[in-house]
Amino acid sequence: MTLARDHRIDFFRGLALIFIFWDHVPHNPLGQITLRNFGFSDAAEVFVFLAGYAAVLAYGKVLAREGFLIACVKILRRAWVLYVVHIFLLAMLMGIVFFANSHVETRDLVEEMGMHHFISDPQQALIDELLLRFKPNLMDPLPLYIVLLAGLPLVLPLLVRKAWVVVAMSVAVYLTVPLFGWNLAAIKDGVWYFNPVAWQLLFVLGGATAIHAQRPRLPDTRPLMRQPLFMTAALYVVAAGVLTVAWRWPHIHDALVPASLSNLLYPISKTNLSPVRLLHFLALAYVTAKLLPDTGWTQNWLAQQSCRMGRFSLEIFCLGVLLAPLADMVNAMTDDAFAMQIFTALVGAGLMALLGAWLEFNKRLNRLPRTHTHEHIKPRSF
């Protein structure tokens, strides 16, 4: 299993992290240009799909080189690291939110962030935190990835050999969600915002795509306009974009969408990864891959900043989680002035890029004493 790095993956992981940060700063003007405003899916789908892609790419090599036992140990060790990071990140986030709340008089940030459970019942909140049941706002993606990564050893050996079998099983599990309503428990008789029983399909599809990308295949030389799958996917992306934009003007939306279609289409569940969300992301990913078939465009300076963030996605994600309430606090203290909202959004993204640059520089420093280095870069699962 060869592991040539696709810098497009790094770029879109980095871009998704910026979008997640912008989407979680209330009233942020730059949040109006993120993926969620132009289709049914958003940065969360990008995040999970590419996490599956990177995980299978990284641990597939370990499986081939060192065997299943070592691959399993390394996967579970990484899942444990992510669990510890989650606990530490939540503690830091609560401290920042309590600090921000003391400086904002017009809003209750603790309540808005879903942290009142910690105030009302701290002992139970700590237990729920350890069991991944207490997940305030911004803290949902990491527990999802912990569960998905911990389950990867169950399917990895079959995935690298017969990916279609694992995808078929994953689809079958996904279909149990509307039938049985399966989900994991959260606090106060709630459930996980990202249902792992549903979202595992996107993770598996990402892994299957990684396997497929490593296998030699003949390119389709037909013009894109003559490729039926591309045209179908492109039309779906455009139609979803038109409908999503029309949500801002209900009378236009109602004129475009008959009541019978609305009843079939809505509600579009993010928790259970509604089929229209899943199909929109897959169509968007396919169209993007076709329109950007090579990686030459990732070599410009701006794209390199996003690629760098994508290579250190765990650290950048954690920083974005901590920056979001701070940006919200500064915006609130200036009565959400437009200029300040733009400033905090750009500064936050800049700090994320700066951290990525520092982490890459630090990684290069650690390599300097070595006399022999490999040309390829080891993929990071998250």
Domain residue limits, the chain: 7-363
Higher pLDDT, 306 or 255: 306
> What gap in Å lies between CA 74 and CA 59, rounded to an integer?
8
Residue 54 has pLDDT above 90, yes or no: yes
Is 132 strand, coil or helix? coil
What is the pLDDT, as a whole number, of residue 22? 98
Is residue 368 scored above 90 in pLDDT? no
Which pLDDT score is estimated for 382? 72
Phi then psi for residue 235, to 5 deg, are: -65, -40
The one-letter amino acid code at 71 reads: A
Range with lowest mean pLDDT among 6-15, 46-55, 186-195, 287-296: 287-296
Rounded (5°) CA angle 53-294-311: 45
Res 374 pLDDT > 50? no
Cβ neighbors of 56 (< 8 A, separation 6 or more) are 152, 156, 159, 160, 206, 207, 208, 210, 211
The position carrying tokens 């699962």 is 381
Q: pLDDT at position 375, please?
A: 46
Identify which of 79, 78, 20 has the alpha carbon closest to the alpha carbon of residue 46: 20
